[in-house]
Structure 1
């Protein structure tokens, strides 16, 4: 059985996109994992499916699965790729804004060019129950016992849970242990994406992210949103920030509470192909 797919990436955060507009694209976990393998499969951080909307106010729905086959609620780099894919499929015109539905709710997307997309990611959610994160009271930062010590993290949901930690050195070997430990910390009931951010000035950040279900990635769109939102809430950055990740940069704009956050960045096609490993689909 041949499964048609498109390989895409947003500043190095890579995806396989499936066309589910006319047929159910659901795949077993074994197939997702086999396709995600970077040695024997296609290789990707997340798999995306473009489907008819569940919400009648939206034009399309997109599903998200991590490389380990687990579902995800949101993917900032992924939704930009979905927008570019829809444009190539003749569903979205340059300059047009419309709503698409993610597993965590609707978002507005605006196609600025064939390869550049702005996304309304909604308002960051800091209420601990909405992340979810185990804490008695909401705060700007929380001490987290991890890796034999304690670190301070900000927590926020951008449709998926994030922990954000300020660091001086993104190349520190300590992060290799801290990333997976924070991602799997029991105070995050659903796990978390662990973001390590270095502040250069009020308009420029550097970021490295360990994603739940995918590990260390070249970029994480919701992670960039989360890092900016946590620091903006503390008054540490301006309303428009450039976030540099290993794979490239994103522009994040957020005026603060009561406003939605916008993320702007590129989307790129890599190749189209067919997955022929029918044994993995049993």
Structure 2
């Protein structure tokens, strides 16, 4: 039996297990991640954040002294980026005094992202560009189908605008599919959004490798980018998700995501 210390945190109820591994000693097997994330027999979470120096990450060619957000979905699969996870990761670094200021950089599989403590203790993170593709994609859910907007935020997204359907009545248990299948050969996060007013959206999401979650940071950015492309809106975009509220700003070709991030406890996990 092995014993692992962990922290638990969430960003708008998108929750994560945090493992400190400064020297890259943990082997992150998919089965180990699945066991930890199981909500009945494990700790329970949408994913795992491993805190490791970038110099310990195979293939990393940038600044090796940066902290690297090594993120895994609950099913053990690797994800390129996670906006809520990045804020929780940053909150952990701040709480554990692993950084010496309220503004710093974090390495991720999608590149280096800048983090800063924003107003009222919220955390703001750069998310890189959000690229809206001019490609026809259709999302299917049960007997329903909708045109979707393909957006890249370092990871793949399909954004559906709901016109008449009730956002809260969608049944996302089985998960949506899409056509053509070649649009997302490695899977995608699918966001369903409703426009509530100028610069205001409501969103639900089915995350690749997890299922429906209470929030998805990159999904919020993708939805805001799709909304801006559709309407020409130029200001910030406020997005309400089941787990809370987030805000997205765009400047110099990049998106910035702002919202809460909370560490709720720490403990030991035996396996």
Q: Would you say same fold, with TM above 0.5?
A: yes
Instruction: Compute the displacement of 1:144 (Å).
Output: 1.5
Kept in 1, the 8 Å contact 2:132–2:229? The answer is no
Alignment of 1:161 with 2:156, yes or no, is yes
Instruction: Compute the displacement of 1:25 (Å).
Output: 2.6
How high is the TM-score relative to the length of structure 2?
0.89
Q: 1:80 to 1:235 in 2, by over 3 A?
A: same
2:130 to 119, 124, 142: 124
Distance 2:222 2:11 in 1: 17
Instruction: Compute the displacement of 1:50 (Å).
Output: 1.1
Distance 2:172 2:117 in 1: 36
Q: 1:34 to 1:98 in 2, by over 3 A?
A: same
Structure 1 alignment gaps of length 5 or more: 128-137, 278-282
Instruction: Compute the displacement of 1:93 (Å).
Output: 4.4
Q: 1:17 to 1:167 in 2, by over 3 A?
A: same
Matches within 5 A, 1:37-116: 37-53=38-54, 54=60, 55-56=62-63, 59-93=66-100, 96-112=102-118, 115-116=121-122
Instruction: Compute the displacement of 1:203 (Å).
Output: 1.6
1:134 maps to: none
Kept in 2, the 8 Å contact 1:7–1:15? The answer is yes
2:57 maps to: none
> Which deviations, in whole Å up to 9, do the C-alpha atoms of 1:96-133 show, x marking residues without a partner?
32221111211111123795210010111235xxxxxx
Kept in 1, the 8 Å contact 2:129–2:255? The answer is yes
Structure 2 alignment gaps of length 5 or more: 55-59
Kept in 2, the 8 Å contact 1:58–1:106? The answer is no
Q: 1:125 to 1:173 in 2, by over 3 A?
A: closer
- After the TM superposition, which of the residue ranges 183-192 and 53-62 deviates more from structure 2? 183-192
1:181 maps to: 177
SS at match of 1:121: strand
**Alignment size in residue pairs:** 261
SS at match of 2:132: coil
SS at match of 1:32: helix
1:195 maps to: 191
Instruction: Compute the displacement of 1:149 (Å).
Output: 5.6
2:11 maps to: 10
> Which deviations, in whole Å up to 9, do the C-alpha atoms of 1:49-107 show, x marking residues without a partner?
1111232176211111100000000000000011110001112345x322211112111
Alignment of 1:270 with 2:267, yes or no, is no
SS at match of 1:38: coil
Distance 1:273 1:8 in 2: 12
How high is the TM-score relative to the length of structure 1?
0.85
Instruction: Compute the displacement of 1:259 (Å).
Output: 1.7
Two-structure CA RMSD over aligned residues (Å) = 2.2
Q: 1:98 to 1:37 in 2, by over 3 A?
A: same
SS at match of 2:118: strand
SS at match of 2:177: helix
1:209 to 205, 213, 217: 205
> Which deviations, in whole Å up to 9, do the C-alpha atoms of 1:193-246 show, x marking residues without a partner?
000000011121000000000000000000000000011122353420110000
Alignment of 1:260 with 2:254, yes or no, is yes
Instruction: Compute the displacement of 1:29 (Å).
Output: 1.2
